[in-house]
Amino acid sequence: MPRLMPSRTVSLWAVMGLLVVGLVYFFLTAGPMAPIKVTVIAVEDRAITPEISGIGTVEARYTYAIGPTVAGRVKSLAVDVGDHVKAGQLLGEMDSVDLDARIASLTAAIERAKALRQDATARLNLAKSQLQRYQKLAPQHLTSEESLAIKQQEWLTAESTRQAADLELNGCNRIVWG
């Protein structure tokens, strides 16, 4: 009696057969064995236009570095990359919000410098008058030499504080007025 193959083996052979048939169909229709499609067109007589192609970078002949003279935010741009521009043409506008705040800050700095100068001037005048008084009392031995030295030091300190206040005020004015 012939021996029967189990159903599992038969199923496996059937799946393998389907795979082989599908693979052959693919090679004959879409794979390397597929026929090549040929498009036929009528021949025309036309001029050939020259083209330049290649790999590389296109650079501008001239470049100019432009930028704002003060800090701020860009409000609007009137040109785009690659646009041709002429001398004097508006390129963009800056928002003056930051500029107004900066002007207010510099104005406040000037006022502080003026107040410091007035305070330093008052302290210098007081130190000068006290020094003069102690210098008149010293020859008569109505004050100690140490007290006179302290008053001279106070006057020198007040003088240097006044000079520093003058420099600060002049620096603030130079920033504002150029």
CATH number at residue 103: 1.10.287.470
76 domain-assigned: no
Read off the pLDDT of each residue in 75-95 and give the average, rounded to a whole number.
86
Between CA 100 and CA 110 the distance in angstroms is: 15
Residue 14 confidence class, pLDDT cut points 50, 70, 90 = very high
Instruction: Tell which wins on pLDDT, 72 or 55.
Output: 55
- β-sheet bridge partners, residue 77: 92
CA distance 157 to 95: 45
pLDDT digits (tens, 9 = 90+) for 16-47: 999 999 988 888 888 777 788 888 888 888 88
Residue 105 domain-assigned (yes or no): yes
Q: Across all residues in the chain, what is the average pLDDT?
A: 84
Confirm whether 150 is domain-assigned.
yes
Q: Among residues of the chain, what percentage have pLDDT more than 90?
A: 23
Model confidence at 177: pLDDT above 70: no
pLDDT classification of 80: cutoffs 50, 70, 90: confident
Residue 92, SS3 per DSSP: strand
Q: Is the pLDDT of residue 157 over 80?
A: yes
Pick the closest to residue 90 from 78, 98, 104, 73 (CA basis): 78
Strongest mean pLDDT among 36-40, 67-71, 156-160, 169-173: 156-160
What is the mean pLDDT of the segment spanning 145-174? Answer: 88
**Side chain identity at 95, as an amino acid letter?**
D
Q: Which of 5-9, 57-61, 86-90, 174-178 has the highest mean pLDDT?
A: 86-90
Find the mean pLDDT for residues 151-176: 85
Give the residue numbers spanning the domain of 144.
98-177
Q: Kindly provide the b/e burial profile for residues 19-45, where b requires at least 16 CB atoms within 10 angstroms of the residue's own CB.
A: eeeeeeeeeeeeeeeeeeeeeeeeeee
Residue 124 resides in a domain? yes
Residue 3 gets the label, from left (phi > 0), alpha (psi -120 to 50) or beta, of beta
* Mean pLDDT calculated for residue range 84-112: 82
Counted domains in the chain: 1
